[in-house]
Structure 1
Amino acid sequence: EKGGGSFTDTIASSTQFHIRIVVEQPDIGEIGNPVELLVMVGDANDNRPTFPQTHYQAVVKELASRGTEILTVQAADNDDPKTDNVRISYRLVAQIPERPRALFLVDRDSGVISLQGDSLEGAALQYTLTVVAEDAKGLNSSCTVVVNVLDENNHPPVFPQREYGPFHLPEGSCVGATVTTLSAWDGDQIGKDSWRVDYELESGDAEEIFALVGDETTNEVSLILQKALDYENVRQYTLVLSARNPEPLIRAEYGPASTATVSIIVDDVNESPTLPETHYEVSVREGEEPGRVIATIQGSDPDSHPIRYSLRGDTRGYFSIDANTGELRAAQALDREENSTYTMELVAEDGMNSSLSATALVTVHILDINDNSPVLVGDYSWKYLCTPRWEDQALLLASRDSDSPQHGGRLNFSLGSDPAVRRDWKLTPVNDTHTNLSMNTPYLAPEVYTVPFTISDSSTPPRSTFINLPGIILIVVFVRLPYQNPKPQSKAKQETVPLKSSA
């Protein structure tokens, strides 16, 4: 008779069982000897390989060479490691985008993902790979690997054309005006430093008339006028622009296409004449002969047009100016004592367009000469002195000189050379213009005296005025004496009686 057996629960692989089999008969009991069985459980390969994560990220440089390792993926299998059931193989089943094909390779045994193509130059910025891990039975699982391609600066910027212009600019163009806007093309990833372009003016602008203003978001550059143009100075500019990346180039060089020429022509505009000064000061001696040139004022015209000169504000015609040469003359005799300063406006007009002009103030200072003699000021016809001489009595004489202090200055009084005059009279200066005339002797006979004296200015040589001062009356003083040889009475008690002047 035969018998059989079965397991009542799941048994893990690589498990051993010792089973003792006993044969019994219901009425008799055991029949024969027990049998010992050793049962060994073998691996059934019932586990699929799995990755520790389902998504991976990796980076590879654009110019990486063939065979560059990018990432290693590893799957695990829970079957018996002592069996071939845990042997895993890897394969790449999908690449998005698909082209170019065969860019990447997964090693069948190690799971190393490497670059299969010669380079990634010109490839997409990102690829999504699907990698499958499979055991010998065909059980498998997959993971996704996202490979980001890191852009490298392997494209120099190039201009779409080598020459721009010519652009016409009038010389009066406003500072800050845009001449033109241009850009160079760069094949690297947009927005990266390898794509950005730095522009520079290499030559043609020694005076820095122009400036470059770039836009980092578009790689455009504007050529800006930063100083005034002058047709008479420079009539044409040939600017050489270069385009460079802020990052060093890799496996590339800058060539002629990274340089461009911009031509600018300056158009002439009729400009106003100019005067070198805004205020001219001229000095001339009074009494100079009319018609003599006292100054020459000359302007300049940027366009080399003739200039015509005229005066404004000289209503009385004291001066004249030659319309062609700018020679300023005194039109009539000038007297400093009448007016010491004259101010007028000089006008320099463009000879081709009278609406274009420049103006400046002209001030003419009249220099004093010693052309006036001092004069006695005042009426002294009824002045008198007392005799015998009183203490401190004097006649105050005043004088004036119309010249400037340089020539007038201190006025000097001096008596005539007659010894009798010098004996009887004396002059005592009070200040620069006044002096005291007094008796130089205790007593002179009462009568009318004429005192000759001279007034001189302080110039070299001096100008003098001789004066016979008439009508100096000496009066007698009557003093009532209480006794012989009394003491002198005070002036308050003296009586004076003027004498009539002699005919």
Structure 2
Amino acid sequence: MVPAWLWLLCLSVPQALPEAQLAERYVEVPENYGGNFPLYLTKLLLPREEAEGHIVLSGNSGIAAEGLFAVDPESGFLLVTRALDREEQAEYRLQVTLETEEGRVLWGPQLVLVHVKDENDQVKDMGDQASGHQATAIVDVSVVESTWLPLDPVHLAENLKVPYPHQIAQVHWSGGNVHYHLESQPPGPFDVDAEGKLYVTRELDREAQAEYLLLVWAQNTRGEDYTEALQLQVVVMDENDNAPLCPSPGASINIPELSSPGTEVTRLLAEDLDAPGSPNSHVVYRLLSPEPEEGTEGSSFELDSTSGSVTLGPRPLHAGQNFLIQVLAVDLGGAEGGLSSTCEVAVTITDINDHAPEFITSQIEPISLPEDSKPGTLVATLMATDADLEPAFRLMDFAIEAGNMDGTFGLDWEPDSGHVQLRLLRNLSYEAAPSHKLVVVVRSVAELVGPNPGPGATATVTLLVERVVPPPKLDQESYEASVPVSTPAGSLLLTIQPSDPMSGPLRFSLVNDSEGWLCIKEVSGEVHTARPLQGARPGDRYTVLVEAQDAGEPTLNTSATLVIHFLKAPSAPTLTPVPSRHLCTPRQNHGVVVSGPSEDPDQTNGDSPYSFALGPNPTVQRDWRLQALNGSHAYLTLALHWVEPGEHVIPVVVSRNGRMWQLQVRVIVCRCNMERQCMRKVGRMKGMPTKLSAVGILVGTLTAIGIFLILIFTHLTLARKKDLDQPVDSVPLKAAI
């Protein structure tokens, strides 16, 4: 029987297809394979993220249940666990998927067709004939040269893309009846067949194992060694399949501001797992960010491409800035095709005490303070700022540098507040010092690094002492008045006066007059009703505040309450109807007589005459004048030279013994003739022609007359022309007498 030898042909046609439509793979395996098992057939492109699912292998004839085929979850190789028999089954159709526990397909399906290659392993069937066996052996013993020779080292490239198993060497025992046995140190994907051919069964990874030592023995059928094992050193050659690994990002690196250019920030040491000292592990560095801004000279950071050292550039940095430095680490010395990784380093610029505190305002506007101000009074609040960011560097100390020899003033502050209060510690005296000029200085509590404090570290406060003048005083602390709810607008209620008639003039005003019922004369202090007391009810009280200010010193003021008691309105007498009168405009020397109420129960009392006044309307008071004739009548005339013609209603307020009435006097203002008679506009009389119609009639009449005259003259002209055209003999002769 011819010794069995192995041909393994893995034909895979990778195509760029979506995971849902992977191309079918074809694998050919010889039957009755005599090597070691499991036998790796082909590598499946399983996704790396396979932790969340499991591999499901299925096929025809219950292959998965028999355990004939399997998939290595770590390498992704499809393998067969025992020898195949083509006469038992010539082909196997397999399907590989990656599924979750719930049955959801994450990858696949991948179809694999395994074809079993035929070998001549069947004895011819002789039917029912008798078969005898006869053997003749001739033993020929000869001495031959030993072929069990040491092997040269084998160099294999990692991730080698060839069909597997892949032959790498061969041993040969010169004798017969030999069986070869192989061991790998450390264990690796190697095998030997019956002919002594050594195979690697899958791709190697140098980073996982760089060298293997294979030991091959020649043994008899009982497993006894003929001689010592041959050694084969397998060296895995490096391939640039590992990108540089950036160091783990740590905490942010702190760099003090004002650090000099060239100061090293950090040194990046990217690790490349490829062969040390080879171009595959030669890493160079390139700065990606931050990039220099447009219009600026220099950059904030610089990078040494060889050592990976990051240093400060010429551009100044400021406290509080945060940078994310991105550096590209490239192997192959930066040549084309090199693998790269982006390394990141966080940098924070820390603060130093390089800014002196300064006042926001170095010159405070003059401040006035009465000389009777009590100690502890706040004079001014000064604000100071410090450009440093660190709280410890922002602590401030204040002091009065000048202008406080007698200790009249003091400072009150919190070190971390940034503001200081200037307060009065002693009583002021206008006679002793009408003004004070104070200089306040601010300093940093911590030691200052850098320039000295600037001119903004001092602030000047000017204080003017005011002489105290007593405020004005009224003749009463509070005022009361009782008025009927029917009191008309413009009625005088009372007069507010100062307690000292010889004091300076006062300016009066009302406060809290929510209803707007009252008004006060600014100079005289007379309180009047500003409008009718609508909404007021008898028995109610209405309180307002009267404020009086010194006309020369508005800051000096006083106030008093004014309480108005509302009374029931007295029964009003019947007012005399005032008939309509007419007055001429422009103004002439005549007017209208206005009389008091006709049915006044107090009219018999001659000691109480009537008082007449115009209503509070400013327009009425401007256009009209009212003069008293006697105790019961008044005379109403025009106050202006010209008043617009038309009907006017003039309100006249009549008062007597605290009672008031309001008359509505109707006056017609018109243009008058010489006899002071009112000239009124006359409208068009019904049935009479208008000017326009009269003009139309006249024009029509003249047009008709013109047409008739034209016709007459035309007729006469034509008749005369006809007479002139007749012959002479047609004219009758006149007889002589």
Give the TM-score normalised by the residue count of structure 2. 0.34
Q: Which has the higher helix share?
A: 2
Give the TM-score normalised by the residue count of structure 1. 0.47
Higher relative contact order (CA 8 A, sep 6+): 1
